[in-house]
Amino acid sequence: MTPPDAPAFPSGGDVIEENRNGLIGRGVVRVDGPDKVTGRALYTYDTRELGKAACGVLVSATVGPARVTAIDLAEAREAPGVRLVWGPADAPPQAEHGALVGAADVPARVISAKPALDQRLTRHFGDTVAVVVADTFENARSAAGLVRIAYEALPAARLVADNLGAASSTPGDPPLEQGDVEAALATAEVVIDATYTTPIQHHAAIEPHASLAAWDGDRLTIFTATQLLKSTRQSLAETLQVPQASIRVVSRYVGGGFGGKIFPLADAVLASLAARALGCPVKIALSRHQVFQGSTHRSATIQRIRLGSDRDGRLTALAHECVSHQSRFLEFNEHPGSVSKSLYAAPNRRIVNAVVDLDLPMAGAVRAPGEASGMLAIECAMDELAEALGLDPIELRVRNEPTLDPTSGKPFGSRGLVACMREGASRFSWTSRRAPGQVRDGRWLVGLGMAAAIRGNHLIRAEAQIRLEPDGGVTVRQGMTDIGTGAYTILAQIAAEALGVPTDQVSMELGDSDFPPTPGSGGSFGAASAGSAVLEAAMNLRRALAERAVADPASHFHGAQPEAAVFEDGRMVIGNRAQAMGDLVRLVAPEGLEVRGAIIPPASYHDHSHQAHGAHFAEVGVDVVTGEVRVRRMLGVFAAGRILNAQTARSQVVGGMIWGVGAALMEESHVDARDGSLTGWDLSAYHVPTHADIGDLDAVFLDERDDHGNPMKIKGIGELGISGAGAAIANAIYNACGARLRDYPMSLDKLLASGALPAG
Ligand code: MOS
Looking only at Cα atoms, what is the longest distance across the chain?
89
Contact 22, 645 (CB under 8 A): no
Minimal-distance CA residue to ligand 1 atom 3: 523
Is 200 a pocket residue for ligand 1 (Cβ < 6 Å)?
A: no
Distance 48 CA to ligand 1 centre (A): 29
Q: Which atom of ligand 1 is nearest to the CA of 257?
A: 4
User: What span, in angstroms and rounded, lies between the C-alpha atoms of 535 and 599?
Assistant: 9
For residue 469, is pLDDT > 50?
yes
Q: Average pLDDT of 137-150? A: 98
Is 365 a pocket residue for ligand 1 (Cβ < 6 Å)?
A: yes
Contact 552, 579 (CB under 8 A): no
Burial-class residue 501 by CB neighbours within 10 Å (0-12, 13-18, 19+): buried
Q: Which atom of ligand 1 is nearest to the CA of 522?
A: 4
Minimal-distance CA residue to ligand 1 atom 4: 259
Mean pLDDT for the chain? 96
Active site residues: 719
Distance 135 CA to ligand 1 centre (A): 35
Is 582 a pocket residue for ligand 1 (Cβ < 6 Å)?
A: no
Task: Provide the pLDDT for residue 10.
Answer: 83
pLDDT in tens, 424-439: 999 999 999 999 999 9
Task: Provide the pLDDT for residue 637.
Answer: 98
Q: Average pLDDT of 460-489? A: 97
Distance 512 CA to ligand 1 centre (A): 20
Is 256 a pocket residue for ligand 1 (Cβ < 6 Å)?
A: no
Q: Average pLDDT of 544-566? A: 96
Q: Which atom of ligand 1 is nearest to the CA of 368?
A: 2
pLDDT in tens, 291-310: 999 999 999 999 999 999 99
Identify residue 239 by its one-letter amino acid code: T
For residue 7, is pLDDT > 80?
no
User: What span, in angstroms and rounded, lies between the C-alpha atoms of 88 and 71?
Assistant: 8
Q: What percent of the chain has pLDDT over 90?
A: 97
Task: Provide the pLDDT for residue 759.
Answer: 67
Q: Average pLDDT of 613-621? A: 98
Distance 467 CA to ligand 1 centre (A): 31
Pocket test for ligand 1, best of 367, 455, 720 (most atoms within 8 A of CB): 367
Identify residue 414 by its one-letter amino acid code: S
The set of residues, in sequence order, having a beta carbon less than 8 Å from that of 78 and lying 6+ positions away, is: none
Confidence of residue 1 (pLDDT cuts 50, 70, 90): very low
Task: Provide the pLDDT for residue 758.
Answer: 85
Is 517 a pocket residue for ligand 1 (Cβ < 6 Å)?
A: no
Distances (CA, A) of 222 to 187, 256, 267, 496: 61, 18, 11, 31
Could you tell me if residue 737 is left (phi over 0), alpha (psi between -120 and 50 degrees) or otherwise beta? Answer: alpha
Pocket test for ligand 1, best of 719, 720, 723 (most atoms within 8 A of CB): 719
pLDDT in tens, 358-394: 999 999 999 999 999 999 999 999 999 999 999 999 9
Q: Which residues of 457-484 are buried (b: 16+ CB within 10 A; e: fewer)?
A: bbbbbbbbbbbbbeebbbbbbbbbbbbb
Q: What is the pTM of this model?
A: 0.97
Contact 466, 493 (CB under 8 A): no
Confidence of residue 5 (pLDDT cuts 50, 70, 90): low
For residue 705, is pLDDT > 70?
yes
Pocket test for ligand 1, best of 203, 254, 262 (most atoms within 8 A of CB): 262
The helix (run of H) or strand (run of E) holding residue 494 is helix 487-499
Is 722 a pocket residue for ligand 1 (Cβ < 6 Å)?
A: no
User: What span, in angstroms and rounded, lies between the C-alpha atoms of 127 and 87?
Assistant: 12
Is 472 a pocket residue for ligand 1 (Cβ < 6 Å)?
A: no
Q: Which atom of ligand 1 is nearest to the CA of 523?
A: 3
Confidence of residue 4 (pLDDT cuts 50, 70, 90): low
Contact 51, 281 (CB under 8 A): yes
For residue 478, is pLDDT > 60?
yes
User: What span, in angstroms and rounded, lies between the C-alpha atoms of 72 and 157?
Assistant: 29
Phi, psi of 494 (to 5 degrees): -65, -50
Task: Provide the pLDDT for residue 169.
Answer: 86
Distance 369 CA to ligand 1 centre (A): 7
The set of residues, in sequence order, having a beta carbon less than 8 Å from that of 703 and lying 6+ positions away, is: none
Q: Average pLDDT of 10-24? A: 95
Confidence of residue 2 (pLDDT cuts 50, 70, 90): very low
Contact 486, 645 (CB under 8 A): yes
Is 716 a pocket residue for ligand 1 (Cβ < 6 Å)?
A: no
Task: Provide the pLDDT for residue 11.
Answer: 81
The set of residues, in sequence order, having a beta carbon less than 8 Å from that of 639 and lying 6+ positions away, is: 414, 415, 416, 417, 419, 420, 612, 613, 614, 701, 702, 704
Task: Provide the pLDDT for residue 760.
Answer: 53
Q: Between β-strands 474-478 and 506-510, what pairing exists: parallel, antiparallel or unpaired?
A: parallel
Is 523 a pocket residue for ligand 1 (Cβ < 6 Å)?
A: yes
Q: Average pLDDT of 33-50? A: 96
Distances (CA, A) of 516 to 183, 443, 503, 534: 54, 59, 21, 10
pLDDT in tens, 159-193: 999 999 999 988 778 999 999 999 999 999 999 99
Is 227 a pocket residue for ligand 1 (Cβ < 6 Å)?
A: yes
Is 21 a pocket residue for ligand 1 (Cβ < 6 Å)?
A: no
